[in-house]
Chains A and B, each alone.
Chain A
Amino acid sequence: MKIGYLAIPVAVVCGSLMTAGQVAQAPVGTLKIVSSLPRTGSANAQTNTIVNGIRLAIDECGGQIDGWKIEYQDMDDASPQRGNWDPTVEAQNANSAAKDKSCVAYIGTFNSGAAKVAMPILNRAGLVMVSPANTYPGLTKPGQGEANEPAVYRPTGKVNYFRIVPTDDLQGVYAANWAKELGVTKVFILNDRELYGKGISGVFRKQAEKLGIEIVGFEEIDSKAANYRSLVTKVKAKNPDLVYFAGTTQTNGGQIGKDLRSGGFEGMYMVPDGCFERAFIEAGGAENLNGRTYVTFGGLPPEKLTGKGAEFCSSYRSKFGADPEAYAVYGYEAARVILAGIANAKTKDRAGILAAVAATTDFDGVLGKWSFDADGDTSSQVMSGQIVRGGEFEFVKVLGK
C-alpha cells in the first residue's frame, strides 16, 4: 500500500510532464527540402532571391507542419570553373538528395539543361521535384522536344517533376506575337546552342513564319566569343528590324546587345526570360540597351502582382530589405506548393508527398489560381513584356492570358 501512496504524485508529475511535452510539440521527425540552383556565377543575383523566397515560405509556416520539423538546405549546382551550372555538380546534388532518407522534396533547377541531368535520378528515387524556372518544353511535353522526351526523364514511368512557370513553346509564340505588334517585318534570329536557347528559337521561328515575318537569318552563336562584331556586320547587311537572341546572360546576351550598338545596328533587340535579371543590364551596359531592348518573361514582374502576390512583395521587402527579383516569387511559390503538399499528404514520406503535390488543383497562390496538369505543367499562362529604360526593366504589357 505504501507504494500506492507514492505512485499518485509520481503519476501526476509524469502526467504534467507529458502535457508540457505536448504543448511544446516535440517534432515527430524531420522532413528536408533541398534546392539546387546555380549559386556561383552571374545567375547568383537571381538565385539569391529564389532562395530568399523559399526561406520566406518556410518561415511563414513556422518551420513545421503537423509536428514535423521542416529543414531546408541550399545547394549550389554551379562550379567556379564554368561560372554557370555544371552537369557534374548537378548530378552530385541529385544523388545526395536521393540518398538522404529525410529529404522529401527537391526545388530546382534554374537551367533546363541541369533539369535533364537531375530528373532521371530523382525519378528513380521517387522524390518530388518542383522547378521555379525551367522553361524548356521537352522536359514535360511529349512531341515538343526530341522523340524520346519526356519519357527519358521518367524511367519509372511516373511523373515526379513539376514546374510553375509557363514553358518556352508559349514564350516563343508570345514573343513572336509581340514582335509583330511592334511592327517588325524582318527578323534575325540567334540562339546560344543550349537546350533552352535552341528550343525557344525554334518556336519563335515557327510562329514568326506563321505571322508573315520574314526571317532574314538564323545563327547559332559561340557563347564564349570575345565579341560579335562580324556577326553584327552580317546582321546589318540583312537589314532586319529586330534581332531576337534566344539565350541567357550567361551565354553572352549582354555582349551581343553591346556589339549591336557599337557595330551601328539601329533596330530592336529582343531576348527571353533568361536575360530578365539585373546582370543582363550590367553586362550589356544600360546605355547600349536603353529604349531598344525588349524582354519577355513567363509571369508578371513583382511590382505588377496583385492580391497574394502583392502581400508577398511587401513581406519580402520587410524581411530582406530589398525588392524581389523576377524569380523570387517562383521560389516562394515552389516552396509553398511543396509545403501544402506536405500538409495534405496522408503519409509524410516521399510517396505520400509526391501524390499530394501531383494532385494540386486550383492552388490559391501568388500567381493566381492554378493547377498542375498530368504532365506536371502549370495551367498558368500569364506572360509579360518589358523594355530596358534608364538602366531598369520597365513593364510594358501583359502577353498571353
Chain B
Amino acid sequence: MLDLDVFLQQLITGLSNGMIIALIAIGYTMVYGIIELINFAHGDVFMLGAFLALTLVGALGIEAWGPSGQVAGVAVLLVGSALFCGSLNWSLDRCAYRSLRKSSKLSLLVSAIGCSFICMNLGLFWGGVPMEVFAGGNAAAAPKDFPALIPQVNLLGDGFLRITPADLLVWAVTIPLMIGLTIMVKRTRLGRAMRAVAQDPVAASLMGIPVDRVIGATFFIGGALGGFASVVYSLYNNTIGFQMGTRAGMDAFTAAVLGGIGSLPGAVLGGLTIGCVRAMSDQYLELRWTNTIVFCILVLILIFRPNGLLGATRREKV
C-alpha cells in the first residue's frame, strides 16, 4: 500500500461523489439560469426519485432478476425515476411558480421553500408504505436499505486500490448525460430557445418563442437529471431516507454557486471540486473540518471571482 494508492483512491471516491453532486447541481443551475429562481425543492424532488426507485425495486421484484436482469432493472429505474422527477419538477413549475412569474423574486423563493417542505413530508409518508423494501413501513422516518443491484466488489483484484461496478455506474451514467446536455443546449432548437429566454424573456417571446413552454421544458430536464442522480446515488450509497434531499441539495447548490450559477460546465466543475475537496480533507485533515474547508473555499472563490469559477459577468435584470 503506497501513499500514492491512498491518494488515487481518494481521487476516485471524490470524483464519484462529485459527479452525483454535479448531476443535482445542473438542476439548480438550469432553473436559475432561465428564471433566476433557486429551486429549493430540487433536492427533495431528487429524494422522491430515490423513493420511487426503491418502490419499483420492491414492486417489480428486481432483486430476483439475476445478475444480467439486474442491469436491465437499473435501466428501468433510471428511466422511471427520470420521467417521474422530470414530471414532478414540471408540475411544481406549472402549479406553484408559473403564476408568480411577474411577482417579486422573493415570493417565488418562499414558494420554492414551501414546495421543498411539501415534498419532504411526502417522502416521510412514502417511507411508511407497508412494503418489504421499506422494512414493512414500520418506521417511516428511518433510513431505508437500498439493495446493491450493482455489486460493490473490487474490479482490480485484491489490492488496496478499489474500483467497483458502482463507481463505473456513476461515471457511465453521468458523463454521457453531461455531454448530451451540453450538445442539446448548444445545438438544438430547444436549447437555442432556452438560451434566448435566459437572455431576455420579453425579446424571446417577441421572436415567437413560447416562453412558458420553454421554461417548463427546462424544469423537466433539470428534474430528470435529478431523477438519474437519485438512482445513481441510491445504488452507490445503498441507503435512502426522507431527509437525504436536504444535504444533497445543499452540496449541489454550493457546487452550482462555486462553479458559477447559471453555467452548466460550472456546475459540473463545482460538483467535482467539492467531491474531491471533501475526500482530500477527510484523508489529509480531520473529518470534522471537512464542511468548514468546503465553505472556506467557497467564500474565497466568491471574494476573488464573485460570479463563480466559470460564471459569466451578467448585468442584473431590471
Contact = CB atoms under 8 A, between A and B. Distances in A.
Interface of A: 40-42, 44-45, 80, 83, 193, 219-222, 224-227, 229-231, 233-234, 236-237, 239, 249, 252, 254-255, 258, 261-264, 279, 282-285
Contacts of A222: 287-288, 290-291
A177 B152 CA distance: 33
Interface string B126-147: 0000000001001101111100
Interface string B8-42: 01100110110010000000000000000000000
Contacts of A219: 286-288
Given A224-B247, A261-B152, A230 B283 contact: yes
A281 to B, nearest CB: 9
Interface in B197-254: 233, 236-239, 241-244, 247-248
Contacts of B283: 230, 233-234
Nearest to A224: B247
B57 to A, nearest CB: 14
Contacts of A42: 139, 141-143
Contact of B282 (A44, A83, A231, A255): A231
Contact of B139 (A41, A220, A221, A255): A41
Contact of A282 (B124, B145, B286, B287): B145
B13 A262 contact: no
Nearest to A227: B237
Interface stretch (B83-91, B158-166, B187-195, B255-263): B158-166
B241 to A, nearest CB: 8
Interface in B283-299: 283, 286-288, 290-291
B144 to A, nearest CB: 8
Nearest to B138: A45
B1 interface: yes
29 contacts: A41-B142, A42-B139, A42-B141, A45-B138, A80-B124, A83-B142, A83-B241, A83-B242, A219-B288, A222-B290, A226-B233, A226-B247, A229-B13, A230-B10, A230-B14, A230-B278, A231-B282, A233-B13, A254-B143, A254-B145, A254-B239, A258-B238, A261-B152, A262-B148, A262-B166, A264-B154, A282-B142, A282-B144, A285-B148
B172 interface: no
B183 interface: no
A336 B54 CA distance: 43
A285 B152 contact: no
A237 B141 contact: no
A193 B286 CA distance: 13
B141 A233 contact: no
A282 B10 contact: no
Given A225-B247, A226-B247, A285 B10 contact: no
Nearest to B167: A229
A233 B10 contact: yes
B279 interface: yes
A181 to B, nearest CB: 28
A220 B287 contact: yes
Given A234-B282, A282-B142, A255 B239 contact: yes
Nearest to A286: B145
Contacts of B177: none
Given A80-B121, A282-B142, 9 more contacts: A44-B139, A221-B287, A226-B247, A233-B279, A233-B283, A279-B135, A283-B143, A283-B145, A285-B148
A336 B20 CA distance: 52
B71 interface: no
Task: Report which residue of A236, A237, A285 has the largest number of chain B beta carbons within 10 angstroms of its beta carbon.
Answer: A237
Interface string B149-193: 000101000001010101000000000000000000000000000
A306 to B, nearest CB: 30
B110 interface: no
Contact of B236 (A83, A227, A254): A227
A205 to B, nearest CB: 15
Contacts of B236: 227
A229 B237 CA distance: 9
